[in-house]
Amino acid sequence: MALATYVAKRLALIPLILFGVLIIMFVITRMLPGDPAAVRAGGIPDPEILIAIRKEMGLDQPVYVQFVIYLKELASGNLGTAFMTGRPVAEELLFRLPATIELGLVSEFIALIIGFPLGIISAIKRDTIWDHLSRLFGVLGVSIPNYYLGLLGIYILFFQLRLLPGPMGRIAILIEPPSHITGLYLVDSVLTLDWDALWSSLAHIALPAMALSFFTMAPVIRITRSSMLEVVSTDYVRTAKAAGIPERQIIFQDILKNAMIPLLTVISFSVGNLIGGVVVIEQVFGWPGVGLFALSSFQANDHNPIQAFVLLSVAAFLIVNLVTDALYGLVDPRIRYG
Amino acid sequence: MTEEKISRRRYLKYAAGIAVTAAVAGAAGYIAKPAPPTTPGPTVSTTTPATTASLAEKVLIVAVETDMSNLDPHNSAPSRPSQAAFAMINDTLIEVHRERSKENPDFWLGHNVDLQDPALAERVEWAEDGLSATYYIRKGVKFHDGREVTADDMIWTYERFAGWKAGYGPMYTSAVGYLGTEKVDDYTFRIKFKAKSPMPRKWLALKEFSTVLNSRLVKEKGVTADDPFATTWLRSNDAGCGPYYIELFAPSSEVHFRAFKDYWRGKPPVDKVIFKFVPEAADRVMLLRAGEIDMISPWAWTPRDIPTLRTDPNTVVYETAHFGILQFIPNHTIEPFGEKLVRKALQYAIPMDTILSNVMYGTAVAMKSPLPAGIPTYTDEFYQYKYDLDTAKQLLSQTKYANGFTTDLYHQVGQVDQQQIAEWLASEWGKIGVTVNIKSLPAAAYTELEKSGDMPLHYHVFTPFIPDPYYTFKWTVHSPDTHTSWPLSQHYKNERVDSLIDQYFDSTDEQKRLEASKEIQSITVDELPQFLLTQRKSIVPARKGIRNVTSWYDQCIGRGMNYITKD
């Protein structure tokens, strides 16, 4: 009950936070240099045409009027129109979101499935070659820019070795995507038993997900290692060892459990890194997600998609933080809410 | 306790096993699968029913550099891939004449808009007084929905073109003195002009100016009280009669085109064309070399990639001289660019050969006139400049800037060649005492600043879509007026130049036009309203076996796709 109340209170705060972010973003996008009407007008400098375009885009109104109009539309779920594409922003995001979610989930999964064990090994085999290698792996992951890592991966694994497909999107160009259920190709392929689509989707997501995961893997390795080392040196662990309890049991039952709290924190922060990293990785791999759309919108100073993207990112971050905070109580029974 | 131990261990084992299996399966599945066949699998469409594919289908995949978000041919500033996309699905009244390149029999050139072949219009009759042109539409030409093309469609299309204030039309129609259209019969209509001029005939070669839309379909599906020109519907729908129709429209990723079997010229040789959005230039090159794509769009290559593609045994680089230029624009109202001697000094300090080899890698030539080579009346006889720092210093010493000065040079983010040229200029101009601060801006900010006319030095990529000398002069050296922008930002004014351009813009006297053009070039090469930098070639990188590629005056890859063949 205390947890439910805690979650409800946090959920109630989210709209307020988003409203504050919206105001800030609305003002900032209109202060930034770059008139989206001029971009849309392109090489046509005729002032009359520019006026017509600005009117069509609603930019001829004062900023506060634009904001009120935007709020009214937002209340009915309308995020405005993307000026560069002419389509509703909500439609654009819904169309592209599954691609980004899928990429984010797979990359987070890879980061954890590799980072976690490496951190454990690093802690258990402290100051051995395995420890150093794990830490080096983590440092490289956070030091090498995503962009470069992505291109390097494409060059080696696709162009030279042909182990993975080229940056042509989510699925081979001549293979039909699976029937739409969730929009996540991996899930939809399994649900519809479309094995061609599954293998192709797996192959196409492997490289971008790996490139994206490196940046989040490094803190997972580090925090797992340091949290475990902290617990390893405690009296009760030494007592357990002295009592002859198998090491594996001590690791998974005692040490890991107590190391989970900081690890959960790192995982929730990694979502923030993912949001930033996904923009770059989608650009490098031509991944048709929200990040690529956001990038082109930023370059054109297309206000509505920029606002929507920031709101989406903030909402995602807030929800992940809320889930993490709720999980703290499940992982550590000493934590109480309310 | 034991059960917990087992379940945790088992959990980790299963998780690791699934991850490894999935990764290996993915890689193995990719390696084991045969290379993507030229026969496509069934396709999914958001706009048309999925079609089945035969085993003998030819598929051409073209990598483009931005998404194709707008299919409207009258849209004010479509991306180049969008322009290519609507050229694929639409047809035009006339077509610019193509001729085979002398260097490569698989390469064709369509640069001269004065040479026109019949297309949708089987013939055109110009009135003696030049005030009208009568078009006789070919009978039996079908739109993609099966309806026939008629004069009513042309007339509605022109009404839309001229009437949609936020589109391209008003600028074009104003520039050519367009008055309107009239119907003669179901297959004949007339376009009327204010005055006799060589310009309308050239403008009407542009695909934006002579395309036809399926007026009945558009009115049924797209016209509303709030949107009488169906601007929303035409962004993502096909109302054309071109050689291809849209099979799949996923603008953030790809657009699939299917050959139109009832196309009036006959079904194109390539059954299916896919425009694939590949944002990164390096990726496009790797994909081409690996055989995953067949062509790179003419606007989607970078200079440093071309030497590799020229030497790769699996690729071919179709290239020819073209008239696209990189304008390098000084603002004459910002000191010291108002002084001719300063501009000349800086021109002498441009390391042109180095730029052409180390930045452009042979994909451009030096400009020797504000009029690009290849445009009628071009001459290099007045060009006097070469890389000579001593002359540059000597000229600068005759001004009050003998000790140099500091200036800002702007370029757009992502334009690597512009940035590299800027770095070379900063280095070389630094040797004569000129300090250059290089500033890069994203597209929106750059465009806005350009239109404001406040940048001391900046670039502009310009291709004169109408390769006419006076059209080009209007955009490059005429003093600012309401229809041009880059002369606005350079603030150059020479009354003699303006007067010659205005006098001969609409003249039909070819000899006088030639003489006046030479005089304009003589003046402007000396006065340098803009620095003379590089003139880009038209280049289409492709896989070996892709033939009958055309270089058009506007380098639109979508036009003439019906001629391309694939071995």
Which residue segments constitute the domains of chain B, with CATH numbers given?
59-314+544-566 (3.40.190.10), 320-538 (3.10.105.10)
Q: Which helix (H) or strand (E) holds B411?
A: strand B405-412
Taking only Cα atoms into account, the Rg of chain A, rounded to an integer number of angstroms, comes to 24
Topology (CATH) of A98-287: MetI-like fold (1.10.3720)
**Which residues on adjacent β-strands are paired with residue B327?**
B460
SS3 B246: strand
Compute the nearest-CA separation of B77 from chain A (Å).
Answer: 5
Measure the CA–CA gap between B314 and B195, rounded to whole angstroms: 53
- CA within 13 Å, CB half, B528: 24
Most B CBs within 10 Å, among A29, A46, A217, A224, to test the B interface: A46
Tell me whether residue A96 is exposed, middle or buried, using C-beta atoms within 10 angstroms of its C-beta: 0 to 12, 13 to 18, 19 or more. buried
- Per-residue pLDDT of chain B (567 residues), as tens digits, is 444 444 555 655 665 666 566 555 544 444 443 333 332 222 333 333 333 345 579 999 999 998 888 888 888 666 888 889 999 999 999 999 999 999 999 999 999 888 999 999 999 999 999 999 999 999 999 999 999 999 999 999 999 999 988 787 887 788 788 999 999 999 999 999 998 888 888 888 888 888 999 999 999 999 999 899 999 899 889 999 999 999 999 878 899 999 999 999 999 999 999 999 999 999 999 999 999 999 999 989 999 999 999 999 999 999 999 999 998 899 999 999 999 999 999 999 999 999 999 999 999 999 999 999 999 999 999 999 999 999 999 999 999 999 999 999 999 888 889 999 999 999 999 999 999 999 999 888 888 787 777 889 999 888 888 889 998 998 889 887 654 455 556 788 899 999 999 999 989 899 999 999 999 999 999 999 999 999 999 999 999 999 999 999 988 899 999 999 999
The nearest alpha carbon in chain B to A45 belongs to: B485
- Could you tell me the sign of the dihedral formed by the alpha carbons of A290, A293, A299, A305, in that order? negative
pLDDT for res B29: 47
Residue of B23, B41, B76 lying closest to A44 (CB–CB): B76
The nearest alpha carbon in chain A to B282 belongs to: A151
Residue of A46, A53, A176 lying closest to B41 (CB–CB): A176
Give per-residue burial for A318-337: e unless 16+ CB within 10 Å, then b: bebbbebbebeeebeeeeee
User: Does B4 touch chain A if contact means CB atoms closer than 8 Å?
Assistant: yes
Which stretches within B355-494 are classed as H helix? 389-397, 416-430, 443-452, 469-476, 486-490
User: Does A154 touch chain B if contact means CB atoms closer than 8 Å?
Assistant: yes
Measure the CA–CA gap between B16 and B19, rounded to whole angstroms: 5
What is residue A159's DSSP assignment?
Answer: I
Measure the CA–CA gap between B488 and B329, rounded to whole angstroms: 10
DSSP string for residues in A1-20 = -HHHHHHHHHHHHHHHHHHH
Residue of B30, B445, B482 lying closest to A164 (CB–CB): B30
User: Does B413 touch chain A if contact means CB atoms closer than 8 Å?
Assistant: yes
User: Does B289 touch chain A if contact means CB atoms closer than 8 Å?
Assistant: yes
User: Does B282 touch chain A if contact means CB atoms closer than 8 Å?
Assistant: yes
Those residues with Cβ within 8 angstroms of residue B339's Cβ, 6 or more apart along the chain or in another chain: B399, B401
Residue of B41, B444, B447 lying closest to A174 (CB–CB): B41
User: In B290-363, where do the E strands start and end?
Assistant: 295-296, 315-330
Q: Split chain A (338 residues) into runs of 10 and give each run's mean pLDDT.
A: 80 87 86 74 64 78 85 84 83 91 93 88 86 84 87 95 94 91 95 95 96 86 83 76 77 69 78 81 93 85 87 87 81 67
The nearest alpha carbon in chain A to B44 belongs to: A176
Most A CBs within 10 Å, among B2, B229, B285, B448, to test the A interface: B448
pLDDT for res B33: 39
User: Does A42 touch chain B if contact means CB atoms closer than 8 Å?
Assistant: yes
Beta strand B59-64 pairing with B272-277:
parallel
Listed by number, the residues of chain A in 58-97 with a beta carbon closer than 8 Å to a beta carbon of chain B are 84-87, 92, 95-96
Joined together, the tokens standing for residue B271 give: 């059954």
- Chain A positions touching B77 (Cβ under 8 A) are 39-44
Measure the CA–CA gap between B176 and A258, rounded to whole angstroms: 78
Contact at CB, B444 and A163, closer than 8 angstroms? no
SS3 B440: strand
Listed by number, the residues of chain B in 67-96 with a beta carbon closer than 8 Å to a beta carbon of chain A are 67, 69-70, 76-78
The residue whose two tokens read 């080096």 is: A136
Contact at CB, A56 and B166, closer than 8 angstroms? yes
Q: What is the ipTM of this complex?
A: 0.86
SS3 B546: strand
Measure the CA–CA gap between B252 and B272, rounded to whole angstroms: 19
Joined together, the tokens standing for residue A42 give: 């392109």
Q: Is the backbone peptide bond immediately before A88 cis, with ω within 30 degrees of 0?
A: no
Contact at CB, B443 and A253, closer than 8 angstroms? no
CB B532 within 8 A of CB B370: yes
Joined together, the tokens standing for residue B238 give: 């096909």
User: Does B16 touch chain A if contact means CB atoms closer than 8 Å?
Assistant: yes
The residue whose two tokens read 């992505």 is: A150
* Distance set, CA B49 to CA A45, A118, B42, B45, B246 (Å): 41, 49, 11, 6, 11
User: Does B127 touch chain A if contact means CB atoms closer than 8 Å?
Assistant: no
User: In B295-336, where do the E strands start and end?
Assistant: 295-296, 315-330
Measure the CA–CA gap between B387 and A322, rounded to whole angstroms: 65
Most A CBs within 10 Å, among B58, B254, B256, B280, to test the A interface: B280
SS3 B461: strand
Those residues with Cβ within 8 angstroms of residue A330's Cβ, 6 or more apart along the chain or in another chain: none
Q: Taking chain B, what is the end-to-end CA distance rounded to the nearest angstrom?
A: 69
Measure the CA–CA gap between A94 and A101, rounded to whole angstroms: 11
The nearest alpha carbon in chain B to A178 belongs to: B44
Q: Which helix (H) or strand (E) holds B565?
A: strand B565-566
pLDDT for res B37: 32
User: Does B232 touch chain A if contact means CB atoms closer than 8 Å?
Assistant: yes
- The type of residue at A131 is D
Measure the CA–CA gap between B90 and B81, rounded to whole angstroms: 14
User: Number of Cβ pairs closer than 8 Å across A and B?
Assistant: 209
CA dihedral (A96, A98, A104, A107) in degrees, to 10, reads -110
Those residues with Cβ within 8 angstroms of residue A45's Cβ, 6 or more apart along the chain or in another chain: B451, B482, B483, B484, B485, B488
Joined together, the tokens standing for residue B297 give: 């769009």
Those residues with Cβ within 8 angstroms of residue B292's Cβ, 6 or more apart along the chain or in another chain: A165, A166, A168, B36, B61
Contact at CB, A33 and B449, closer than 8 angstroms? yes
User: Does B22 touch chain A if contact means CB atoms closer than 8 Å?
Assistant: yes
The residue whose two tokens read 């993507």 is: B36
For residue B373, count other CB atoms closer than 10 A to its CB. 17
The residue whose two tokens read 């990598």 is: B63
Contact at CB, A176 and B42, closer than 8 angstroms? yes
pLDDT for res A167: 95
* Distance set, CA A310 to CA A68, A279, A299, A301, B373 (Å): 19, 12, 15, 13, 48
Most A CBs within 10 Å, among B51, B61, B164, B252, to test the A interface: B252
Three-state DSSP string of B25-60? HHHHHHHHCCCCCCCCCCCCCCCCCCCCCCCCCCEE
- Chain A positions touching B25 (Cβ under 8 A) are 199, 202
- Chain A positions touching B461 (Cβ under 8 A) are none
Those residues with Cβ within 8 angstroms of residue B430's Cβ, 6 or more apart along the chain or in another chain: B436
User: Does B24 touch chain A if contact means CB atoms closer than 8 Å?
Assistant: no
For residue B515, count other CB atoms closer than 10 A to its CB. 14
User: Does A292 touch chain B if contact means CB atoms closer than 8 Å?
Assistant: yes
User: Does B8 touch chain A if contact means CB atoms closer than 8 Å?
Assistant: yes
Contact at CB, A174 and B485, closer than 8 angstroms? no
Those residues with Cβ within 8 angstroms of residue A20's Cβ, 6 or more apart along the chain or in another chain: none
CB B146 within 8 A of CB B134: no
- Residues listed for chain B: 567
Tell me whether residue B12 is exposed, middle or buried, using C-beta atoms within 10 angstroms of its C-beta: 0 to 12, 13 to 18, 19 or more. middle
Q: Which helix (H) or strand (E) holds A308?
A: helix A303-331
> Which among A183, A147, A176, A153 is positioned nearest to A165, based on CA atoms?
A153
Compute the nearest-CA separation of A157 from chain B (Å).
Answer: 10
Q: Which helix (H) or strand (E) holds B179?
A: strand B178-185
